Structure 1
Amino acid sequence: MQVYAPLDELKPVGDGIWVVDGPTIRFYGVPFPTRMTVVRLADGAVWVHSPIRLSEALAEAVAALGPVAHLVAPNQIHYAYLPDWSRRFPGASVWAAPGVAERAADHDVAFPEARALDGAEPWPGEIDCLVVGGSAVHHEAVFFHRASRTLILTDLIENFEPARVPWWFAPVAWLAGIKDPDGAMPRDMRWTFRKGRAELRAAVETMIGWGPEKVIVAHGRWYERDGVAELRRAFRFVL
């Protein structure tokens, strides 16, 4: 089932920002729809977040926006397709959250040389970057596209719509705390922040302070409006 068809097509989010929905993959047996975000920077360069499965048609559509200059692996799970994109666009800089290179090596993935997403501001005035701390294992970089007031997350919020998942997964999503319309951080991930709740709270407060109107997530329905309210709802367990 093509959950968010049409797939592999640029879908406008705002001025200079698009999402692309990709095929569903299996992660520990669970069907996960995939999604990447594409931004065209002020200088015309293209920024690609959490690249999905590469096809030549998709590569050409993204390249038509401008030179592909930045490829972003936002956490230790969302990196698998980035090497293909790096080979297709060898002039692009690769950016990786903490732990990505190590995870790739553990899975015998030849990951390209990457610049660290360590809280620096590689795209000042256009895309704010924050590495969310506090977890024992999950290190995710989040981004705020200022021009469109869009917050770009990956797995910190998941929001599975019951009508778009197999019947047996809907109750699992509810138990995990990731069922639309009350999608949030998966409960198993929350547990990894048990000793770092203050750091997580500070990160969430920073994201709220950015004042996003939209919140993009990688899995499930993303939020086209009321971004601040959705953040307060999804992270109420820590605020």
Structure 2
Amino acid sequence: MLEQVHDALWIAEGENVSFYGAPYPTRSVIARLENGDLWVWSPVRLTVDLRADVDRLGPVRHLVSPNKLHHLYLKEWKAAYPEAALWGPQSTIKKRSDLSFREPLTDNPPHDWHPDIDQAWFRGSFAMDEVVFFHRPSGTAIVADLVQTFSDRFLRKHWGWFRFLARLDGLTQDQACAPLEWRLSFINRAPARKARGKVFSWNCQRVIVAHGEWVRTGGHALLRKSFRWLGA
């Protein structure tokens, strides 16, 4: 169930979920922090096998939603790991008022994971915001919806004739963008450009995304390509 990316970083592939009728692949990232605690980003469905694999890695202490769309399985993970803290930007906290979160995530990483993980808060859109993370020990950027890289194979299998919509939206592997409608919603781009500058300062070797093919090398170049829509 788990694929090891680095000594302290793993990914878990989840099921396809429906987003406005379109199948989306899902992926979670699990980092083992310096103190041994586990940090779980965008949790996927918690199966019996996945839980067994996770429990072998260490104690789950942080459950992280990067934006208000990545919240589906927080409740079941919290039930399984009641001692874990829930984290997310204010938009997630507002959407999931049934759950008790720690303070909202912003540009500055909490002291709980600051030595291991940095973050940048992309905002300025009237529709969405997202916190992008960087796992320092492995040089890995972790992105939810701001970078989507659907392969042609996945689109042919799951989207069929409607795969042209993914290309129009900029979601294909060669374009690696956020959806067009989200890009257009950034009326105030100054905060997002500031976040992009922070992302570009990271020594990024790879990029793990929630939706699509993740990039094992040339991570910095991909990020520069993916965020070109923000302009100068």
Same fold (TM over 0.5): yes
What is the TM-score when the length of structure 2 is the normalising length?
Answer: 0.93
The match for 1:55 is: 47
Alignment of 1:46-195 (within 5 A): 46-105=38-97, 110-122=98-110, 123-165=113-155, 166-193=159-186, 195=187
Report the count of equivalent residues: 226
RMSD: 1.3
Alignment of 1:24-43 (within 5 A): 24-43=16-35
What is the TM-score when the length of structure 1 is the normalising length?
Answer: 0.90
| SS in structure 2 at match of 1:144 | strand
* Superposed CA offset, 1:88-112 (max 9, x none): 000111111121122234xxxx323
Alpha-carbon separation, structure 2, partners of 1:53 and 1:212: 28
The match for 2:220 is: 228
* Structure 1 counterpart of 2:117, one-letter code: I
Q: 1:201 aligned to 2:197?
A: no
Query: Is the Cα contact below 8 Å between 2:183 and 2:229 reproduced in 1?
Result: no
Query: Is the Cα contact below 8 Å between 1:170 and 1:179 reproduced in 2?
Result: no
Alpha-carbon separation, structure 2, partners of 1:129 and 1:59: 26
| SS in structure 1 at match of 2:96 | helix
Query: Is the Cα contact below 8 Å between 2:34 and 2:115 reproduced in 1?
Result: no
Identity %: 37
Unaligned 5+ segments in structure 2 are none
* Deviation for aligned residue 1:113: 3.4
Alpha-carbon separation, structure 1, partners of 2:107 and 2:226: 23
